[in-house]
Structure 1
């Protein structure tokens, strides 16, 4: 029997603009202490209220609904004008002493619901939260060195992965951001080479990884960000750089010109099947 789906509510206790396009929001909640684990890259979904709602309307989970299928059916049964909008996030940090969770919101130019909420967040605001769950934890493959590559949406996960590295562990980071003002400190006990890629100067994550010299020895990679770029990089690392398929973890956090509310494309379905087979 796996861990049951967890649905809870979290309340804003602080908001900070850490870069011109990133808001760092801290939350507290009665369930947090029992949900947060001491591991990097904890994924969960935040549930945003519709216009006119102070608190998002969410179904209660059932104790034996391990993977949340019945909960999701109940969620879809809520009339659309009242149904909260779900978006996936990474827990940037959790302070067990203060019982406070930190989440970074990228303020994309597409003016989506998460970006709008993040720009206007105030202490006292309430969101729903689904997860995080250890069911979806994926330890990094063992290797002599690790490549971490992603855009702004991947930076919280990259930061937690770097912070989890032991002293002496070797890692390369290729991070794509809008411009130099979006760079931020990435601390680690490991031996880390960080290279920032700026879109305003014509840089791209794909080009940065393609041209990156990789160390000798056994390598592994963690890729996340825009789905098309991640697909391209995964094929490049496996087919052109010779990394084993199982050594490359990959996640398409967002899709260009589409949102998480849009139906999956055929390419998305093939992508999900490929991830499940790894």
Structure 2
């Protein structure tokens, strides 16, 4: 029996502009102090109200859940016109003393539901939260040198991973952003090399990873971002660099021209198979 994912309301405390295209929103709520942990790449889902709603209507799962998915059945049972708009996020930071949770929002040009909500967010606004849960945590591959690669959507996780690395560890970061104004500073006790990839100059994340100087052995990879790019990066590391599949953790956070509301494509299914193989 798996404990059901917690479903709760969280309130906006502060909105901060990190870069021209990224907002950091701090939330408070009853559940975060009991649920959040001090670990990197902690993922959960935020639920946003439908137009005309002040707060989202949230699912009400049972306390115990055989497969950990009863909350989703309850979510689908909400009439579509009232069902909250839901997106996945990474916790950027959590302060146990204050109970504040920070989440970074990438302001995409498509003006989707998360972007619309974030742009208009003010202290006191309410969203819903599903999770997080340590049952879904995936540990980083063990290695002396860690390669982290991703686009803007991966920066919150990359930040938490770097902050969690100990002194003496080594990491190489390849991060794709729109332009130089989107670059961020990462704090870490580890020895970190960062290569910023600028789309406005026609630069490619895959090319940056291909040209990255990595030691011949004791290397692991962590990849996240657009699903097609992530698959290409993983194939490069496994097939061209010779890394074991188990040494590459990867996740497709989003799909080009599609949203989380769209049905899986053949590309998505291929990604899922590769992810399952990598876990084996």
* TM-score bracket, shorter-length normalisation: over 0.9
Which consecutive residues of structure 1, in runs of 5 or more, have no partner in the other structure? none
Partners of 1:112 and 1:67 in 2: CA distance: 30
What TM-score results when the alignment is normalised by the length of structure 2? 0.97
Q: How far is the alpha carbon of 1:8 from its aligned partner?
A: 0.8
The equivalences for 1:80-99 within 5 A come to 80-99=80-99
1:95-139 deviation line (CA, Å, top 9, x unaligned): 111110000000001111111111111001101100111011111
SS at match of 2:3: coil
Q: Which moved more, 1:209-218 or 1:127-136?
A: 209-218
What TM-score results when the alignment is normalised by the length of structure 1? 0.97
Q: How far is the alpha carbon of 1:74 from its aligned partner?
A: 2.0
Q: Is the 8 A contact 1:5 1:67 kept in 2?
A: no
Partners of 1:204 and 1:53 in 2: CA distance: 41
Q: Is the 8 A contact 1:166 1:189 kept in 2?
A: yes
Q: Which moved more, 1:207-216 or 1:122-131?
A: 207-216
Partners of 1:54 and 1:26 in 2: CA distance: 19
Partners of 1:107 and 1:42 in 2: CA distance: 21
Partners of 2:2 and 2:172 in 1: CA distance: 34
Aligned to 2:249: 249
Q: How far is the alpha carbon of 1:60 from its aligned partner?
A: 1.1
Aligned to 2:60: 60
Aligned to 1:216: 216
Q: How far is the alpha carbon of 1:38 from its aligned partner?
A: 1.4
Aligned to 1:239: 239
Partners of 2:206 and 2:8 in 1: CA distance: 37
1:5-25 deviation line (CA, Å, top 9, x unaligned): 111110000001111000110
Tell me how many residue pairs correspond in the alignment. 278
Q: How far is the alpha carbon of 1:53 from its aligned partner?
A: 0.7
Which consecutive residues of structure 2, in runs of 5 or more, have no partner in the other structure? none
Say yes or no: does 1:143 pair with 2:133. Answer: no
